[in-house]
Chains A and B, each alone.
Chain A
Amino acid sequence: MSDAILRLDRLTKRFGAIAVSDDVTFDVAPGEFHALIGPNGAGKTTLIHQITGVLRPDDGNIFFNGADITRMSLHRRARLGLARSFQITAIIGSLTTLENVALAVQARSGSSYRFLRPVAGERALNDAAMHALAQVGLTARAEVAAGRLSYGEKRSLELAIALALEPKLLVLDEPLAGTGREEGLRLIEILRGLKGKYPILMVEHDMHAVFALADRITVLVYGKVIACDVPAAVRGDQAVRLAYLGDEAA
């Protein structure tokens, strides 16, 4: 446990009288592909917001590589290596696909307080960006304005941006959200290629992706962790089946 990349310790967040995160404890081990699932309204997104720094928990702690990041600002967590992809695509539409990724590379390579040299000419940034694009298969679309990409391509770009940050942990918020079957399968293959190279925490509804990729699965229901185990065990867990399928399964 002590060498976990990410550790949540009794995390609690209340909105009024409702505990959206209720005493949540789990961890992500180095190199592990960890999926977070749960029915709608379980509090998955709120949890991701607390991990990445958009929201502050009311109680409990978050440890990243041993450091307590519970109260750390969003951008400082990113600097520590916590890379995130968004459920609702968050790309800069007016920049090209390449420039979007180059922006991420730039964050990790030197000062951005340079005012005179044109950034478009920085070979090092562009090369690193192309490398990330290659991993998601978007190199052909490098010069296209990101706003003009298809929805599926944008989801891939989300992933490329996160990769370009040379992350110590990838937090992926529903990477397959809204994608069709073909695009979804393609993304699963890309993610399979990343498995083991980076520790990954993935929130997903797509059970096919979850069971194909996860080393461990945490199940969240009404803010509480009701299971945290290998996929086979989770699949057979009574409480999980009840939560997802209702009384029929019991």
Chain B
Amino acid sequence: MWTRRLLPALLVAVVAALPLVTSADTSAFAVTLGSRMMLFAIAALSLDLILGYAGMVSFGHAAFIGIGAYAAGILDAENVGDVMIGLPLALVVSALFAGATGYIAIRTKGAAFLMITLAFGQMAFYLANSLDEFGGSDGLTLNNRATVAGADLLSSDLTFYYVILACLVLVFIFLRALVASRFGRVLRSTKEHPLRVAALGYNVDHVRLTAYVIAGAICGLAGYLMANQTEFVSPASMTWQTSGELMFMVILGGMSTLYGPLLGAAVIVGLENFLSGYWEHWPILLGAVYLVAALFARGGIVNLIRGAKP
């Protein structure tokens, strides 16, 4: 019960207060790092829906980060960078990409789904790379953050931090409701026994595709905000390595818990930030963390805390 009401409120309070109670330098650092953590948390949450709850191992999820990001970047380059245009665009294009690629991928059997999502993710990456007028492989710097119906509300890092927090809270609440809804019950059951669910009369492919599109759109939102936050967009945000990282955020934190992805995103973004300052070849350490997590911590940290079986 306390996880349902108190814990979320507590977390939000802590995150909201952080920039206000720390000194100026720490505060600025906390805002930047915190924004990054929260944005990856949104992306990881969206992946948890399909990976954790539906059992769909998608290895191309970073493509949606890229789609949302490039929506921001391209609109900015064309001088129409407003949230009223950009946000719906990011969501719609992400949903369309998810719908088209998901339709093909979902009809295939288990292992192939993984490979196909990886391939489509790579396709999006190469597509972004080939956009020479939008920076190609070097990427594109935004002139400024998107305006909100003409108003320059997001230019302050601190304000944007709270906007991101609000988005994260909304996404969390939405997914929590989704998982407990009629749709959620069917979706969760398809993970365990798809044949049984089909034998009840449900079109399992449609259910999975719907979840896939929802997840893609939410991740597109994360990408759109990311590009605005860093005021930069490049294909590097949508590599398959990023897709793998997202998977680890979900798994390390704890699949199908919704809190897991939050924790996982914070830990991995934090680790990267910390390790990269110490050693040039820090990815080896990150890889080692991944290996250890794969070998031993399949239920993730949240389940370790709960004492539940993975």
Against A, the Cβ 8 Å flags (1 = close, 0 = not) of B171-205 are 00000011011111110110011011111111110
Interface residues of A in 89-138 (CB under 8 A from B): 90-95, 99, 102-104, 106-108, 111-120, 122
- B37 CB to closest chain A CB, in angstroms? 27
Number of B interface residues in the complex (CB < 8 A): 25
Q: Which residue of B lies closest to A110 (CB)?
A: B182
Contact: B203 with A75, CB < 8 Å? yes
Chain B residues with Cβ under 8 A from A116's Cβ?
177-178, 181
Q: Which of A78-86, A191-199, A217-225 has 4 or more CB atoms under 8 Å from chain B?
A: A78-86
- B124 CB to closest chain A CB, in angstroms? 26
Contact of B186 among A79, A93, A112 (CB under 8 A): A112
A interface bracket (residues with beta carbon within 8 Å of B): 35 or more
Chain A residues with Cβ under 8 A from B189's Cβ?
92, 95, 103
CA distance A211 to B185 in the complex (A): 40
CA distance A119 to B188 in the complex (A): 13
CB of B75 within 8 Å of the partner chain: no
Against B, the Cβ 8 Å flags (1 = close, 0 = not) of A163-188 are 00100000000000000000000000
CB of A55 within 8 Å of the partner chain: no
Q: Which residue of A lies closest to B175 (CB)?
A: A115
CA distance A165 to B198 in the complex (A): 13
Contact: A90 with B185, CB < 8 Å? no
Query: If the complex has contacts A91-B193, A92-B192, A112-B207, are A119 and B200 also in contact, measured as CB distance less than 8 A?
Result: no
Query: If the complex has contacts A78-B200, A118-B177, are A112 and B193 also in contact, measured as CB distance less than 8 A?
Result: no
CB of B210 within 8 Å of the partner chain: yes
Q: Rank and list the top 6 A-B pairs by shortest CB-CB distance, nearest first.
A: A78-B201, A90-B196, A107-B201, A79-B201, A107-B200, A118-B180
Can you spell out 7 A-B residue pairs with CB atoms less than 8 angstroms apart? A79-B201, A90-B195, A99-B185, A113-B183, A115-B181, A119-B185, A122-B182
